[in-house]
Structure 1
């Protein structure tokens, strides 16, 4: 196991290293499934967490991003990103293990306050390791393969996420039904498994080669200021920060809304999440290909508005009459949002790496992560503080239709509780997309050209799979009509001649 950076990495070492990066992603994804998202929310609700505490839990992953400054200093001081990444990822797994083990050691168990404190340190260490990892991957992965590689890695991680989430949700619901007194124990076991898998991830990182990076001699705050002086990168920071603020007003509370307002069981929520994950898996390969061929900005311009529609659609699910209609609406929303988030997440990650200079990538990417994190942190905390106010205030918009039979009321809008944040967050996200036009990226083309290219490509694949005639019925009905008319005229001429 070589812990030192290498001056030259052979093609064989690169291939092995990329496979290790994928394996690291899979083990880390399994850890995330067991210790965050819906299962963490369900655990916190079971422990009696308030709305503000739920907001704090949602804000933790982004609030601690400011500690990435420490990663910049350490990489600058030691010029060994592998050791920094592995060490702090190891430290980040210890609090996860502690959350799982404490209830088996102390009879009182874990309180919400202890849970928040341990996750706070977990995210601090994880962010330091993550910043060094970003810089490491920037030098390790060839630029022309960046989009395709990360789309492949994300697709495999999401496939694992779907499988584990479904199996875990079924297990949790079984425990809640047959052994309700053991529900909290089940969550603790998940944290122990997550911590163990996280340690496996650290071992894989230690075996991955690291190319030797250029030593950065600038002072820490000078490095931090460089991205802010770069006009194009500064425009990216403004857009990404506004976008993150808008989304984090709403998205962290989707699971809370479905559990508390709609009353859905955990298995249903996980199943809906899986529907979104599957659509993301099937679409991310496409976005990775277009990321390398066109630009990440083009992908955001297409996926951004679609995701905004999905966020705002949540506000109308509570107005639906009947549980089946609600589930159908949620399923469609999750499927479309899965397609959109696959492109947005890939593009936002890649565009930051792409626009950052090679020798200062860690400073640029960390600056971006910290500013975006600040916006992402205050948004759910504000939402958590205002949630109780909006819970007791309703906005209802109806139309009265008068007829001989009487007056019929048609409800157009009914906002209460979390529904307010879905509408407000969607509108702010839509407004932030206007800032995207100020960002310049190599390979960028007119959005309409990319849309036309995607439509033509889809039509060609459809023709290959379903046959020319069926595709023409969908995309070119005039050609089908012309063929039928020609055939009829030909038959008529034959009859006339006879």
Structure 2
């Protein structure tokens, strides 16, 4: 497929997405008096401003996906496998992004002291993405370095970029959570993720083909891909200038924006709202340890990240190294997975808006936990190449769409309204530690045949994933449903999720005290 055709497909898809987003926003805002509930707005957000912000965020996600694919995933794994990196080094590489999450609490504290989420994120993400140019320059001009030098340089670049980018993660999530209306949360994040999955579907095979077909060799081909990825990453940040900026510092009054009008709450309404948020008299640390529901979510999240990352970094290693399958095959499988992810995201988003995120995570989590066992019957044979691997990647993409979307939504729902950036950062840091521990343990075990090697690691990961779901049973989701009530009452209606039915918001929008400015 040529580049103009790809651009045309992307353009047509985004026109459809934006049209649907426009319609959804209009319907939702009109049904509620064209109002968006936020706190302390000096410039109220109109429907057009919200719509423009969400469309810009979608385009930001699309180009950021190209950057992520070029500097991670199967292409980076292939680059290191070509340098004869060991499983423990692959595990270390995969643990770096998760260890970087330890910087999120610090980033949350810094961002709360700034006057603009947009400019804070801009000055964090621009340097973190430009650092990849060092690796690209080394590939073209460093000459013939030995393999350990290349591996160490790659690990250093990955470490610097991810640790720097982690400083902006909590502020970015808080910024986006503030802009997305509550009734559009499931459908919008599903739509945005679908657009990103479409770019996954299109970009990974193209980038993989560039690496394999480049005349200067696979190593230089990856250097070209890194250059393209950095360019796309900078373009993605440009779209953030069309998003309404948010200042987290001013916490004065609670207001309801209604198509350009600002209406103050009555004193009693303000007292009630303050009562729903954390009392200022309670120290933040004490309040955190008293939040049993959020602690249960953290326990689930930590165990799940450990269990998943025991095996997650090694599926591509298993294909590329153990089975010696060509990179072009592997990128095609990855595209199938992205296509399934794209197809199912909107379906899962609508379903989550109806029944809640926790029931989906429990049911789908059991299926995802069993997937590593299915890899035990694969091999470098025609049946696996043409049938088994495509099916595995299709099922994986569709099921992980639910995990990705609903975990994010559940986190937004269980975190208290006040101090959300700090709670997000704590969750990210704990998940990062447990995930990094999982990849490190997985890399260690994968090198030893006595433990079953990589296939044995897949079996161990399946058992650990099932155990990780136990704390999720006890997490309470606001306006969610229990499985005991869901199964008899909702399953007969699941076939109608594509119909136009009234949707109740599962997770209320985070009522962050903010000041909003609109970038022109």
TM range (shorter): 0.7 to 0.9
Q: Deviations over 1:361-387 (max 9, x none)?
A: 101111111101110011111111222
Q: Which among 223, 231, 236 is matched to residue 201 of structure 1?
A: 236
How far apart in 1 are the matches of 2:181 and 2:187? 11
Q: Deviations over 1:418-465 (max 9, x none)?
A: 011111011010011111111001232243665664554438989xxx
In the alignment, structure 1 residue 282 sits paired with structure 2 residue 343? yes
**Bigger helix share:** 1
How far apart in 2 are the matches of 1:183 and 1:225? 54
How far apart in 2 are the matches of 1:166 and 1:60? 25
What displacement does 1:159 show? Answer: 0.5
Is the contact between residue 318 and residue 454 of structure 2 (CA under 8 Å) also seen in structure 1? yes
Runs of 5+ consecutive residues of structure 2 not aligned to the other structure: 1-40, 252-277, 500-520
The correspondence of residues 4-403 of structure 1 with structure 2, limited to 5 A, is 7-108=43-144, 111-175=150-214, 179=215, 182-213=217-248, 223=284, 226-318=287-379, 322-325=381-384, 327-389=386-448, 391=449, 393=450
Q: 1:6 to 1:327 in 2, by over 3 A?
A: farther
Task: Kindly tell me the number of residue pairs found equivalent between the two proteins.
Answer: 427
How far apart in 2 are the matches of 1:460 and 1:84? 39
Is the contact between residue 135 and residue 223 of structure 2 (CA under 8 Å) also seen in structure 1? yes
Q: Which has the higher contact order (CA 8 A, sep 6+)?
A: 2
Q: 1:127 to 1:32 in 2, by over 3 A?
A: same
Q: 1:264 to 1:455 in 2, by over 3 A?
A: farther
How far apart in 1 are the matches of 2:158 and 2:73? 13
How far apart in 1 are the matches of 2:156 and 2:287? 33
What displacement does 1:294 show? Answer: 1.8
Is the contact between residue 210 and residue 225 of structure 2 (CA under 8 Å) also seen in structure 1? no
Runs of 5+ consecutive residues of structure 1 not aligned to the other structure: 395-415, 463-498
How far apart in 1 are the matches of 2:320 and 2:206? 19
Q: 1:352 to 1:457 in 2, by over 3 A?
A: closer
Is the contact between residue 227 and residue 367 of structure 1 (CA under 8 Å) also seen in structure 2? no
How far apart in 1 are the matches of 2:228 and 2:42? 34
What displacement does 1:327 show? Answer: 4.2
How far apart in 1 are the matches of 2:497 and 2:141? 62
Q: Deviations over 1:29-59 (max 9, x none)?
A: 0101111111000101112212221111111
How far apart in 2 are the matches of 1:224 and 1:45? 44
How far apart in 1 are the matches of 2:485 and 2:319? 39
Q: 1:74 to 1:30 in 2, by over 3 A?
A: same
The farther-off stretch of 95-104 and 160-169 is: 95-104
Q: What TM-score do the two structures reach when normalised by structure 2?
A: 0.77
How far apart in 1 are the matches of 2:58 and 2:423? 24
Is the contact between residue 88 and residue 128 of structure 1 (CA under 8 Å) also seen in structure 2? yes
In the alignment, structure 1 residue 439 sits paired with structure 2 residue 439? no
Is the contact between residue 138 and residue 358 of structure 1 (CA under 8 Å) also seen in structure 2? no
Is the contact between residue 244 and residue 372 of structure 1 (CA under 8 Å) also seen in structure 2? yes
How far apart in 2 are the matches of 1:192 and 1:352? 34
SS in 2 for 1:210: strand
Q: 1:351 to 1:457 in 2, by over 3 A?
A: closer
Q: Deviations over 1:93-152 (max 9, x none)?
A: 121122112233433457110111111010012111222101111211112211111100
Q: 1:226 to 1:7 in 2, by over 3 A?
A: farther
Q: 1:461 to 1:296 in 2, by over 3 A?
A: closer
How far apart in 2 are the matches of 1:419 and 1:11? 52
How far apart in 1 are the matches of 2:128 and 2:329? 31
2:495 maps to 458
SS in 2 for 1:111: helix
The farther-off stretch of 100-109 and 286-295 is: 100-109
How far apart in 1 are the matches of 2:202 and 2:137? 25
What displacement does 1:211 show? Answer: 3.5
C-alpha RMSD of matched pairs (Å): 2.4
Q: 1:191 to 1:227 in 2, by over 3 A?
A: farther
1:471 maps to none
